[in-house]
């Protein structure tokens, strides 16, 4: 086995969508180039698309709207560069010192499972993000303050190996009879 640690799970890069669109544009330009070469070599009888575009572009003269179109084009370019340089966000949390990772949704499942394991809780649901686990439980007993404290402790103990440790928010309501 290797002593080298694995990479941290991260989301797809923010520039992936823009990269895909730009790749499709380059493919379209390549298709137009092949069509132009085929037309120039006489392999096809159709006139070249690039010649048609160049003919239309000859007629264009600088206009006022072009300056206004250049500003958004420059801003889009700056945005593309910024998204390409933005680090990808982490999608999982580390568990202990080993190369084991857990998703925030699984933290929520662990918290709800811990609450359901106690006899004082009739139902429990939870939500989680990378920083906070929120548990909502329905208590069989009217003493919700003590149950809130015990659930908070039990969940904190169960999630103790997770790094960074999430904040735990517990909300307990008494069961309606």
CATH of the domain at 158: 3.30.70.1350
- The pTM of this model reads 0.65
Strands 162-163 and 101-102: unpaired
Q: Give the Cα separation of 156 and 48 in Å (integer).
A: 69
Distances (CA, A) of 121 to 79, 112, 117, 165: 50, 10, 8, 24
What pLDDT is attached to residue 1? Answer: 47
Q: Output phi, psi for 109, to 5 deg.
A: -65, -40
Q: What is the DSSP letter of 114?
A: H
Domain match, 80 and 124 both = no
For the stretch 109-144, pLDDT in tens is 999 999 999 999 999 999 999 899 999 999 998 888
Asked whether the CA dihedral 136, 142, 145, 151 is positive or negative, the reply is: negative
Domain match, 122 and 156 both = yes
Q: Is residue 11 part of a domain?
A: no
Q: Give the Cα separation of 84 and 20 in Å (integer).
A: 13
Identify whether the C-beta of residue 122 lies closer than 8 Å to the C-beta of residue 55.
Answer: no
Domain match, 61 and 132 both = no
What pLDDT is attached to residue 57? Answer: 78
What pLDDT is attached to residue 5? Answer: 67
Host H or E run for residue 59 = helix 49-59
Identify whether the C-beta of residue 140 lies closer than 8 Å to the C-beta of residue 106.
Answer: no
Domain match, 74 and 104 both = no
What pLDDT is attached to residue 131? Answer: 92
Q: Which of 83, 145, 90, 94 is nearest to 120 (CA)?
A: 145
Q: Is residue 32 part of a domain?
A: yes
**Residue 43, domain extent:** 16-85
Q: What is the DSSP letter of 141?
A: S
In the predicted model, residues of the chain with pLDDT beneath 50 are 1
Q: Give the Cα separation of 160 and 93 in Å (integer).
A: 12
Domain match, 98 and 63 both = no
Among all chains, which residue has been given the structure tokens 């993000």? 129
Q: What is the mean pLDDT of the chain?
A: 88
Q: Is residue 8 part of a domain?
A: no
What pLDDT is attached to residue 160? Answer: 92
Q: Is residue 9 part of a domain?
A: no
What pLDDT is attached to residue 19? Answer: 86
């Amino acid at each position: 086995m290797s002593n080298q640690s694995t990479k941290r799970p991260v989301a797809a890069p923010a520039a992936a969508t823009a990269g895909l669109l730009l790749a499709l544009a380059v493919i379209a330009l390549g298709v137009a180039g092949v069509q132009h070469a085929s037309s120039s070599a006489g392999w096809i009888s159709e006139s070249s698309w690039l010649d048609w575009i160049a003919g239309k572009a000859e007629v264009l003269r600088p206009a006022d709207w072009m300056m206004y179109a250049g500003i958004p084009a420059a801003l889009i370019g700056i945005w593309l560069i910024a998204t390409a340089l933005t680090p990808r966000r982490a999608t999982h949390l580390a568990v202990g010192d080993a190369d084991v990772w857990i998703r925030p949704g699984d933290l929520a499942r662990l918290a709800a499972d811990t609450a359901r394991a106690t006899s004082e809780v009739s139902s429990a649901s939870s939500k989680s993000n990378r920083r906070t686990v929120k548990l909502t439980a329905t208590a069989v007993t009217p003493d919700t303050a003590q149950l809130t404290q015990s659930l908070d402790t039990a969940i904190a103990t169960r999630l103790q190996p997770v790094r960074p440790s999430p904040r735990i928010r517990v909300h307990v309501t008494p069961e309606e009879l």
